[in-house]
Every structure is written in structure tokens, then in C-alpha cells.
Amino acid sequence: MSFVIHSDSSFVISLCQNSIFMTKSVIYPWGHEKRYNDFPSNFRKIFNERVQKVSIDAGFSCPNRDGTKGKGGCTYCNNKTFKPEYCNLKQSVAEQVEKGIEFFARKYHNMLFLAYFQAYSNTYASVDVLKELYEEALSHSKIIGLVIATRPDCLNDEILDYLEALSKKCYVMVEFGIESCKDSTLQKINRGHSFAESIYALQETARRGIHNCAHVILGLPGESREDILEQAAVLSALPVENVKMHQLQIHHGTVMAKQYLDHPEWFFLFEVEEYIELVVDYLERLNPAIIVERFVSQAPAGMVIAPNWGLKNFEFIAKVEKRLKERNTWQGRLYQE
């Protein structure tokens, strides 16, 4: 792993087998001084200005809910936990885009937006339907691209061909709910797809030049700390561009909420400091080329059964950055190709 030292620095970092000598601020392989390859810095490189996602509920369903693969959905899933108030199915995609832009414009004036198709599986339709919905969002002058949340089993060649063509005209990222690399865990949480399907989805999007993101949940029932850290190594060997990691939360209105009530011994829910250590350990093993978008999920407090840390996203990030510095470590320090 290579590092670039500031030209005005009297300090040097050298890596010599197992010895590390660090003496001032360093530019890491991702091109800045942060100790992990963070998403906001990467976005600034791509767009040279502030860009914000605007969430959209376009009325998609899910094959794990409509009976195609299952009913009831994943055991942890309650879409209301991440759906903004301006996201309303009674409004068209264009109206939701306008409302979302108005919402963020109160804070930031000169910015551009990505339409974030977030609720349920947003490639679970015919190409004709997808074109109509995506291009309705792109018709707004301030929308410069799409982020499309979906399942890895909701793709086919026709959809991939369309997304490949669209990505040549604007920014397109497909965010896949990978959740776990272990098939036994995917079965336990009623996910309805295999990890092999996740590998295929990541490989195909990468091969076609479509930006991708792997969404994973840390702390799912039955997974040990060793399993979670092994996941970092598994993802590092795949063409993952971005990763979102979230702590397991138990939300009201889910199958998992009942499981937690009936069988609390199935679950290990991290305290804040425990989860920070896990995140730092995970980062150490993660390919430094992978961009880290999130460490935690934030659901409305009234929907969370446990754990409820009472921390905002930026507060948790600050704690992770502080711990990375205290441990004198960084993303990819233990990564092995």
C-alpha cells in the first residue's frame, strides 16, 4: 500500500514488514488525510460541488413480499424507518422530486441532486416502466443522476443493458441489499436470494461501468465477530465500488421484533463503543479502493426497539475517526489482495 507525504512535512511514514513509523499527516491512497475512503470526499471529486440525494417512493414492490419468492419480506424490514416525510406515494415522481429539492434548498442554495429510488426493490418492473419512472425524475433540471436501491436478484440483461446505456448519459448507481455473505444468514432473515446472486449483480454492474454499492448489516442473528470481519475480506475481493454498513436495529412492526421478544438469546446488539471497535476492525480489513458511505442507520426513535444509542450520524462518524487516530490505523491496513 502506498502513501503520499505532504511536501511541506518534516514527518515520514514507512511500512517495513510489520513495522510502522508514522510522523505527521499523510495523504492516503484515496487522496486525502482522512483515515478511510469516505463518500463525501469522493462525491466532491466527481461533481466539484455539493450533491444531495432526494428520496423517491415510486410504488415498487418486492418479490419477497408479493409471493414471487416469499411473503412478509425480510425479517428486519420496515420501510417506514428510512422514508422522509416528503416521500408520498400520492404524489408523482416529479412532484416528490420537487418537494425533496424544496426541502433541501432551505439549508443549501446552490446544489444539485440525485434522484434516490429508495423504497422496496426499484428495478422490480419491466424496462418500459423503469424508463418512464427514471426519466420522469431526470427531467428536472437539477437532477443529474440516479441512485437505485434494489435486490441483487431483481436484474436481468434487458435492465442491465438499459442502465448501462443510461450511465453513459448521467450518473447511475445501483445500491444492492447484500446484507450478508453467508447463505445460512440470508435464509435465517428470509432474504430470498443467495450470496451468489449478489456476486453476479456486483460483477455485472462493474463490468458494464455502472456504479454500485453493497449494503450490509453488521450483527445479524447467528453471525459471530469473526464472520463479520471475514465479510470485509470477501467484499474486498469483489468489484464493490461503495459500501454502506449498518448496525442491526430491531424495529417495531417487523418479524424480527417478535423474534427478539420471544428469543432474545438469538441476538447480540452492540453497545456504541463495541460497535465502534468493530467498525475500525472492519475498515482495517477493507480494500482501500472501496468507498465507505455509511457506518450506521438512523431510524426515527419511536420505531426503534433496540439498540437506541441517541447518536446522530455525524456524531458517530466523529467517534470512529477519533478511534482510528487513537489506534493509529486506517482503512486497508490489514487488507491482503
For the ranges 103-117, 130-144, 273-287, 322-336, which has the lowest average pLDDT?
103-117
Residues of the chain with pLDDT > 90, as a percent, come to 73
For 12, the grid coordinates are 515520514
**Is pLDDT of 139 > 60?**
yes
3-state percent helix, strand, coil for the chain, nearest multiple of 5: 35, 20, 45
pLDDT digits (tens, 9 = 90+) for 197-243: 999 999 999 999 999 999 999 999 999 999 999 999 999 999 999 99
Q: Which of 167, 111, 158, 118 has its CA nearest to residue 138?
A: 167
Say which residue, 299 or 189, is predicted with more confidence: 189
Say which residue, 32 or 1, is predicted with more confidence: 32
pLDDT value for 83 = 55
Contact 136, 92 (CB under 8 A): yes
Q: Which of 254, 161, 193 has its CA nearest to residue 62?
A: 193
CA distances from 260 to 41, 180, 188, 328 (A): 38, 19, 13, 37
pLDDT value for 78 = 81
pLDDT value for 88 = 66
**Is pLDDT of 174 > 50?**
yes
Q: Which residues pair with 148 in a beta bridge?
A: 117, 174
For 250, the grid coordinates are 430491531
Say which residue, 78 or 308, is predicted with more confidence: 308
**Is pLDDT of 6 > 60?**
no
**Is pLDDT of 172 > 60?**
yes
For 209, the grid coordinates are 461501468
pLDDT value for 162 = 98
For the ranges 64-73, 176-185, 310-319, which has the lowest average pLDDT?
64-73
pLDDT value for 86 = 57
Q: How many CA atoms lie within 13 A of 324 on its CB side?
A: 20
Mean pLDDT across 81-91: 64
Per-residue confidence at 79, pLDDT binned at 50, 70, 90? low
pLDDT value for 194 = 96
Map out the domains of the chain with their CATH numbers. Answer: 34-326 (3.80.30.30)
**Is pLDDT of 55 > 70?**
yes
